[in-house]
Amino acid sequence: MEMNVWLGQLMTITMIALALGFDAFSLGIGIGLKGIRYLHILKLGIVIGLFHILMPIGGMLMGKMMSVVLGEWATIAAGVLLIILGLHMIIHSLKEEETQLFDHRTIWGLLLLSFSVSVDSFSVGITLGMFQLPLWLTVLLFGCFGAVMAMLGLTLGKRVSHSLGDYGETLGGVILVVFGIYFIV
């Protein structure tokens, strides 16, 4: 492959990885606004990064069968999951009693979060066959950007939450709902 074509495709894949990482960043801000420990930031970042590696591979495998239909549904599913998580955060922040339907510190909560921000990587994986870059390089970029962007968002949300007080969780929920609606529309 010619060097200019390779560099062009590398830049394209890097931009796609950055765009996919922004989902993790926005979710990270929302969760970080609730308050989160640095150990959980690291754990969430790593698991989100792994999902950003596995989901495109799964997308490539499934894309051979149902590329058009699945691509649309994957984006809608990501939006619906973010809206549900955001509404839960808003409702939870407005209630007096402590009820917790979703907890990022549990294995199921961690997996749900990671899946919700990585499902669009699945739909992107469907189209990865068009590129001539090595698969390992592509998914490694997706994973690194997903992990780093998630950790940046979580850290930013954690820092901002101290100044927002009780309204931080509500704001985080609103952010997730807005991004979820953006995915669906």
Q: How far apart are CA 12 and CA 2, in angstroms?
A: 15
Longest CA–CA separation in the chain, Å: 62
Whether residue 116 lies inside any domain: the answer is: yes
In-domain check, residue 111: yes
Q: Does 48 map to a domain?
A: yes
Rounded distance between C-alpha atoms, residue 137 and residue 28, angstroms: 25
Domain that holds residue 66: 15-184
pLDDT tens digit string along 81-139?
Answer: 668 777 876 776 677 554 444 577 788 888 887 887 777 677 677 666 656 678 888 88
Domain count of the chain? 1
- Give the per-residue pLDDT at 4: 80
Residue 105, Cα to own-chain centre: how many angstroms?
17
Residue 22 token pair: 């922004």
Listed residue (27, 69, 62) closest to 44, CA to CA? 27
In a domain, 19, yes or no: yes
Average pLDDT over residues 35-49: 90
54-76 per-position pLDDT tens digit: 988 887 776 555 545 555 666 67
Which pLDDT belongs to residue 67? Answer: 46
6, part of any domain:
no
User: Is 5 within a domain?
Assistant: no
Q: Is residue 56 part of a domain?
A: yes
